[in-house]
Structure 1
Amino acid sequence: MTVISKNRIKASEFFGGGYNDFLKYKGRYRVLKGSRASKKSKNTALNIIFRMQKYPEANALVVRKVFRTLKDSCFADLKWAIHRIGVDADWEIKESPLEITRISTGQKILFRGLDDPLKITSISVEHGVLCWVWIEEAYEIMKEQDFDILDESIRGSVPDGLFKQITLTFNPWNERHWMKHRFFDDLVGYDSENKPIYKPRKNPLSDDGQILAMTTNYKCNEWLDASDLKVFEDMKKRNPRRYKVAGLGDWGIVEGLVYENWKEQKFTLDDVRGFHTVCGLDFGYTNDPSAFFIGFLDLENKRLYVWDEMYETGLSNRKIYETITGMGYGKETITADSAEPKSIDELRSLGLYIHGAKKGKDSINNGIQWIQDLEIIVHPCCVNFLTEISNYMWKSDRFGKKLNEPIDDFNHLMDAMRYALEQYILGNGWIY
């Protein structure tokens, strides 16, 4: 059995500064919004492993909205945490099914997606009790009811010394998200239409002691080097709005959304059978993701069904090809960003049916205007599309006046969607 020696390891050496209250808190809801590079995911992973080493009857559940996104995020962070603490010999890591087990005690870390609610509500463990839940990228959960289902499934008594707790970590892109009112605000009354009135809570701890809602940012990450810090300083100058959220961890203020004609709703391939398949690709690499969009257009009823997505940084053209074909879309016709003809040629030589978008003067605004006339149905698995469409805004001038130009942010899948629909925009006589 591997035991962490208190003399050998100090927790502070692993977590760094800014997280003392977060690590000590034992109430029901531990909510952490933070900027990029704020250590929130890594520290949560470390905290779970430290706790499970300390409490041999405790088991943990790790959740994201879509199960397939867990392997390269939370699962990878927990593997990293086990290795960083130096307890590899006492942990068994499986990828099929996705599961981490402490060998000496039988404790488990289970992984689930909210895209399969039955598996969420029927979780059980063989040894000890399930008492801790970590919801990563909690912003992806657009419906508060989905969270309630998970919350209600963590119930029952626990042995002395243990406690039930749900930890939510996320980037605060949108101040309209239900998590703001639920965890960061206080209800202070109702207006004349009986709508609730909220004000931001001054204290991170709620009055009843059951919520700790914190904000951290990159400034508490002492392990960033000069080049890492320069990324944020450049962001501060180039894109102040993004810096406020991605740099400082403040709530994103959403006014003047480009698209408000959408809703999140499950549908099946049977529901869209006979509609036009539309695919678009926007290229990225280091900082921006390569974004692949696939949907189905019901032209008669002016309805677009958003079915699937690819959204990854660091992809070579060959990897883009392998990913798209691996998703099952290797035979579909794809319209891509024509600014990268070399990439299009390479993907075509690899076997994709791909061509460049025509673009032209006012193509972005004309494409947006055409798409605004559609009803957009977004499948819940398209978490990156949901994030972008709920944050894709019109630019403002220095006086706050909205301009007839979208921001150059949250636009990778938005551009890919526009490319995918180009033939129909052109076919309907639009100047594109």
Structure 2
Amino acid sequence: MKTNSKIDVYLPDLVGKGYKAFWNFRGRYNVCKGSRGSKKSKTTALRWIYLLMKYPDANLLVIRKTGKTLHDSCFTDLKWAIHRLQVGDWWTWKESPLEMTYKPTGQKILFRGLDDPLKITSITVEHGFLCWAWLEEAYEVLKEKDFDAVDESIRGKIPDGLFKQWVITFNPWNEHHWLKRRFFDQKDPDILATTTNYLCNEWLDEHDLRLFEEMQKNRPDRYRVAGLGEWGVSEGAVFSNWTTADLSKEISHFANIHNGLDFGVADPNALIRFDFEPGQKKIYVFEEYYQGNISLEKLYEEVKKRAGTQLIIGDSAASQQIIELCRMGLHVVPAVKGPGSIQYGIQWLQGYDIIVDYRCRNFIREISNYQWTLDKYGNTTDIPIDADNHLIDALRYGSEPIQHGFARAGRRL
């Protein structure tokens, strides 16, 4: 096939139904939350190939949290879309680094991971404008500021008739994820936030549909999330035994207060304060401090202001920081830790209802997104992902005296 030849395709036959608004939207943020089998990734791939061939000055950046996951997801979906649209002779691609080129114009599809942010913020194209981006599996991005940093890569003046856009796709996730607040909880003409599910996928066969029917019958909670695409707790979440509340009136009555402290330099220093009520089987998380890039003197001031002379259990790996804070006047002792302490601490915390004051936004983000790692077959392990867990680690440290039956360290405010 020559690159100046034409082919006739009927898009509704190739794309199917259920995505008309998504396909036609031209605002800045085109966000799609979809269940398994909802064809959101395949539809997105078809749309990008179609639009790139329609707008000769546009280029596309494709992003996931981890760069190595792009090959078997977005890169493969885009190749599938090229073949489905019967335009394979007009495209070329390479795998090191991942890149696709539309041969008639030289337009590019570039692939990057958030694990190498410098390669995103400094990215440029030779032809036309980098005006489009696709963030796939956006729930993997736990911090909104990480998205904000790459959002700025789609910038600059573009010619009339072209438009800037992010397409953001992901499976349903915990309702406390920043994606819900940012894109689904507000009305903005520059945002289209849609939810799709397997019912709009006309290419599922009888076996596929039967799996969803059995899920609806036997596992209704999972069906609500994996089948209908509604917000819910992931099966890989470590903690599901927590809720939020306004604890401002209860604080003065807390009698068994405990404090945990995790240290950071560029990472945040994280102080958590909670009340333990053994008779109620409840833990009340009522205060947090979360800040990186500060001096030890500043950390002392902030912790002193909150915990005073109360006992604080700190990360034993930061022995020098603990010694210095004690010299300044705080009462900090190292956590015991040891082999298996993470799993034991998690299991212990899972045995209590954890009530979190709604103002503890960083802790809410961490506990919402804290997950078990997966093995190479996609099965959950008993090892949590060691990322964005500073306050959770501090909670484990602070609860050690209770876990192991030490003398209680809490005091009244």
Q: Give TM-score, length-normalised by structure 2.
A: 0.61
Q: Which residue does the alignment assign to 2:240?
A: 257
Distance 1:70 1:125, change over 3 A: same
Distance across 2 between alignment mates of 1:32 and 1:262: 38
Q: Which residue does the alignment assign to 1:213?
A: 193
Distance across 2 between alignment mates of 1:29 and 1:51: 16
2:151 partner SS: helix
Deviations 1:221-252 (A, max 9, x none): 00001000011111112221111111001111
Number of equivalences: 284
Higher gyration radius (CA): 2
Distance across 1 between alignment mates of 2:12 and 2:19: 9
Q: How does 1:195-344 map to 2 (within 5 A)?
A: 206-207=187-188, 209-252=189-232, 257=240, 301=335
Q: Which residue type is aligned with residue 35 of structure 1? A: S
Superposition CA RMSD, Å: 3.8
1:415 partner SS: strand
Q: Which residue does the alignment assign to 1:68?
A: 68
Q: Which residue does the alignment assign to 1:165?
A: 165
Q: Which residue type is aligned with residue 213 of structure 2? A: E
Is 1:415 matched with 2:394?
Answer: no
Q: Which residue type is aligned with residue 50 of structure 1? A: Y
Deviations 1:284-343 (A, max 9, x none): xxxxxxxxxxxxx979745699xxxxxxxxxxxxxxxxxxxxxxxxxxxxx9xxxxxxxx
Distance 1:267 1:73, change over 3 A: farther
Shift of 1:94: 0.4
Q: Is 1:23–1:47's contact at 8 Å kept on the other side of the alignment?
A: yes
Q: Which residue does the alignment assign to 2:38?
A: 38
1:72 partner SS: helix
Distance across 2 between alignment mates of 1:174 and 1:105: 42
Q: Which residue type is aligned with residue 197 of structure 2? A: N
Deviations 1:125-152 (A, max 9, x none): 0001111100000000100000111111
Shift of 1:390: 3.3
Q: Which residue type is aligned with residue 237 of structure 1? A: K
Q: Which residue type is aligned with residue 148 of structure 2? A: D
Is 1:78 matched with 2:58?
Answer: no
Distance across 2 between alignment mates of 1:2 and 1:262: 62
Q: Where does structure 1 lack aligned partners over 5 or more consecutive residues?
A: 187-205, 269-296, 306-334, 336-363, 374-385, 393-410, 419-427
Shift of 1:257: 2.4
Distance 1:304 1:241, change over 3 A: farther
Q: Which residue does the alignment assign to 1:87?
A: 87
Shift of 1:259: 9.1
Distance across 2 between alignment mates of 1:258 and 1:222: 38
Q: Is 2:174–2:368's contact at 8 Å kept on the other side of the alignment?
A: no
2:382 partner SS: helix
2:173 partner SS: coil
Distance across 1 between alignment mates of 2:34 and 2:220: 16
Shift of 1:160: 1.9
Q: Where does structure 2 lack aligned partners over 5 or more consecutive residues?
A: 244-259, 268-315, 319-333, 353-365, 373-377, 386-402, 405-413
Q: Which residue does the alignment assign to 1:368?
A: 347
Q: Which residue does the alignment assign to 1:292?
A: none
Q: Which residue type is aligned with residue 221 of structure 1? A: N
Distance across 1 between alignment mates of 2:179 and 2:198: 22
Distance across 1 between alignment mates of 2:195 and 2:261: 30
Q: Which residue type is aligned with residue 78 of structure 1? A: L
Distance 1:180 1:137, change over 3 A: same
Q: Which residue does the alignment assign to 1:147?
A: 147
Q: Is 1:61–1:111's contact at 8 Å kept on the other side of the alignment?
A: yes
